[in-house]
Chain A
């Protein structure tokens, strides 16, 4: 054990001849917020997919609390406490906000459906508890939306917030956030930021973000990727002044 909750060692992901992630090392301290930044196509989301189990590693390994995750599926990783959100929120439009959060709770916790079905009163009690938990998460993260609102009717900012609530509901140990601020205006970014600030320190967070100010305010540690490789790693202030980062990241942003 290194004191890290997550250790990514020499991780590589290849798609045919394309190397999306190239021997990346990353250590996330328990309770810390770790940002991954880099230009488009740097391999940030692929790295997150590899950590959460959505794509297999071509080389290297991912350790969670010291144990290798490589052979576990995404669902099994979620049940260990590694939960993620998506750049396009993974929500089911036909369900309400509360129901989406409940689905998150069911998929991240273990229980027998048959056992529930056979003990109906217990099942009903659990349903009440799950509904109450979903509502409590909305309140905890101060997401200004009614649980009964259909998700399909929400604007992007609230959808992203509900996606975080869906991931947060089962109290994960490691929360992986993929571009939670992309496509949002300043006030929406502020809402996401304050929701994350509220849970900061309680769990470990890995967050991909383009919005540099957001990263600088929230992160304890920053890793910069370019062409699938780590080009800088360290505290935000240090990384920000790194000449390689300025050349690759800020330069690329200027090109946009």
Chain B
């Protein structure tokens, strides 16, 4: 029992990061009707840029963290402007393949620049050590990661729920043409989504890196688990994204403990498949939101 609870506690930390990843999927889905397959590689690239640009400056870690969010946001804006904006037709399949190509490009760029799978030690936002929570040992790093992830989730979700942003994003996602006719600044709204998605991606990478280490395949686990969480949460629900992320994280940790680490991806894949087959609208989604 203790082992199960201990696993759940560490699963919650990773789960909060999966939830954040799922949030980025939801943001782009709700705004641009787009699934961004480059989300993971964008986050990895942000972390590498932060590593080589900011660490030599010797800044306090929290300043570095905030600057990294800025770097991620700028990267998101650049990618939208360069990759998705030219000849933008709102054709979802066209845009989907652009992000797939972009992902391959970024991975190749990172591997070429900084080596394939080469680990780089990344400083932790907090020192080692642990604390007892209800009789269970929790590392400070895990606790901090969980707290920051939840704070970021609620902060961004609150921003996205503000009436102008929230409603105009939904309008743009539903019908870009009519939104344009109505005077909604469609490109501006989608740009905001990419800024947010870029910033959150950088945050995920920076919170995840100290738990493992910075490398070109840093975000690989997120591709399967983050999308599984987004689908389980219903693709259109911010609350669903974070709750589903936590569920996936705990499931991941329990499977690793009781069945063995090699079953983790299998379990996530079964979950992903199960959601698509049994309840494509997820736990919190509306029945008509899936359209890819």
Whether B175 lies near A103 (C-beta < 8 A) is no
Minimum CB distance partner of A108 in chain B? B183
- The interface residues of chain A lying within 8 Å CB-to-CB of B174 are 92-95
Known: A75-B183, A94-B170. A113 touches B164 (CB 8 A): yes
Q: Which of B162, B175, B192 contacts A92 (CB 8 A)?
A: B175
- The interface residues of chain A lying within 8 Å CB-to-CB of B105 are none
Q: Chain A's interface: helix, strand, loop or mixed, by majority?
A: helix
Give the complex CA separation of A123 and B161 in angstroms. Answer: 10
| B63 interfacial contact with A, CB 8 Å | no
- The interface residues of chain A lying within 8 Å CB-to-CB of B184 are 103, 106-107
Chain A CB within 10 Å — which of B165, B182, B185 has the most? B182
Q: Which of B162, B179, B182, B183 contacts A116 (CB 8 A)?
A: B162
**Could you tell me which residues of chain A, from 92 to 137, have a CB within 8 Å of some CB in chain B?**
92-95, 99, 102-104, 106-108, 111, 113, 116-117, 120, 123, 126-127, 130
Q: Which of A86, A94, A126, A130 contacts B181 (CB 8 A)?
A: A86
| B168 interfacial contact with A, CB 8 Å | yes
Count chain B residues whose beta carbon lies closer than 8 angstroms to a beta carbon of A. Answer: 20
Whether B162 lies near A104 (C-beta < 8 A) is no
Query: Could you tell me the distance in whole angstroms from the C-beta of B26 to the nearest C-beta in chain A?
Result: 16
Whether A94 lies near B162 (C-beta < 8 A) is no
- The interface residues of chain A lying within 8 Å CB-to-CB of B135 are none
- The interface residues of chain B lying within 8 Å CB-to-CB of A117 are 158-159, 162, 165
| B127 interfacial contact with A, CB 8 Å | no
- The interface residues of chain A lying within 8 Å CB-to-CB of B165 are 113, 116-117
Interface string of A22-59 (1 = CB under 8 A from B): 00000000000000000000000000000000100000
| A78 interfacial contact with B, CB 8 Å | yes
Known: A102-B167, A113-B164, A130-B163. A91 touches B183 (CB 8 A): no
Give the complex CA separation of A78 and B182 in angstroms. Answer: 9
Whether A123 lies near B162 (C-beta < 8 A) is yes
| A165 interfacial contact with B, CB 8 Å | no
Give the complex CA separation of A54 and B179 in angstroms. Answer: 13
- Closest CB pairs A-B (n = 6): A107-B183, A94-B174, A127-B163, A75-B183, A123-B162, A117-B159
B interface list, Cβ under 8 A from A:
158-159, 162-165, 167-168, 170-171, 174-175, 178-179, 181-185, 192
A interface list, Cβ under 8 A from B:
54, 74-75, 78, 86, 90-95, 99, 102-104, 106-108, 111, 113, 116-117, 120, 123, 126-127, 130, 166
